[in-house]
Amino acid sequence: MAQLPTPFLNDPDIYAYAQKVGTDQLFHNATSSFAASQFKEPYEALIHAITGQHLHSKAVKTIFARLCSLNKTESGTMTGNGHPPSAKVLLSLKDSSLRECGLSNSKIRALKGIAQAQLEGIIPSAQQAKTIDDETLITQLTSLYGVGRWTVEMLLLFTLDRPDIFPADDFGVREGWRRIKKLPQSPSPKELYKITEVFSPHRSLLTYYCWHAKERLLEPTLCQTAP
C-alpha cells in the first residue's frame, strides 16, 4: 500500500481502516460509481450530472444516450459519439426534442443555462480550471440554476481530480465516518467538515475511505451498560 499522508497515520481509527482495506480497489470502486468520471471537461460532466439527478442508473443511461444522440457537428451531421451536444447545439434544440429524451422542464432549463454559461465563459475548461481554487469554482458553478454544491464537489473529485474535496453533506461520507469511528450517530455536516480539516490537503482520500466504509464496514458494535 502507498504511504499514507501523516494525518491518516496519526488517527488510529482511520489508520486501522486504511491498513485493512488498502488502496488497490479504493479508487476503482469510487470512480466506477460515477459515470461522470468518463468526462474530463466540466461542461460535459455538468450536463451528465443534471441529466441524472434523482434517477436510477438505468434510467440515467437511457436518457443520457438519447440526449447524446442529438449531438451534431456545425454542418448538421449527427455524431452519435457518446458525448452530449455542444453548448451551441444544445441551445438550438427545441424543448420538445429534449422532453422526448425524457428530460423534465426543470432539467431542460438547467441544461440550457449550463450551455449558455459555457458560451459566456462561466464554465471553465479543464485546462482553465487548473488556475482556479476549489471554493471559487464551487461559488462560480453553484450560481447556475439546478447546480448545487454536491454536484460541483463530484465534478472536482472525478472530473478535475482535486485532492482536497470532502463533501460533508453526502450521506455516504457521513455514514462511513460514523462506522469507522464507531459512533452512535454521525456528526452534523458542519461539525464533520470542521473535524476533518486536519486531513487537509488530502481530504479526497478520506472521502474515498468513508464511501468504502459505508458500503463494506458493518454497523459498529456499541458498548452498552449492563442492566
Q: Which residue has the cell 440515467?
A: 60
Chain-centre distance of CA 6, in angstroms? 26
Q: Which of 11, 24, 169, 170 is catalytic?
A: 170
- Of the candidates 132, 112, 133, 103, the residue with the CA atom closest to the CA atom of residue 43: 112
Q: Cβ contacts of residue 33 below 8 Å, gap of 6+?
A: 211
Q: Cβ contacts of residue 19 below 8 Å, gap of 6+?
A: 1
Q: Cβ contacts of residue 119 below 8 Å, gap of 6+?
A: 87, 88, 91
Cis check for the bond before 124: say yes or no (omega within 30 of 0): no
The rounded distance, in Å, linking the Cα atoms of 165 and 157 is 7
**Does the annotation mark 164 as catalytic?**
no
Residue 159 has which C-alpha cell? 472530473
Catalytic residues: 170
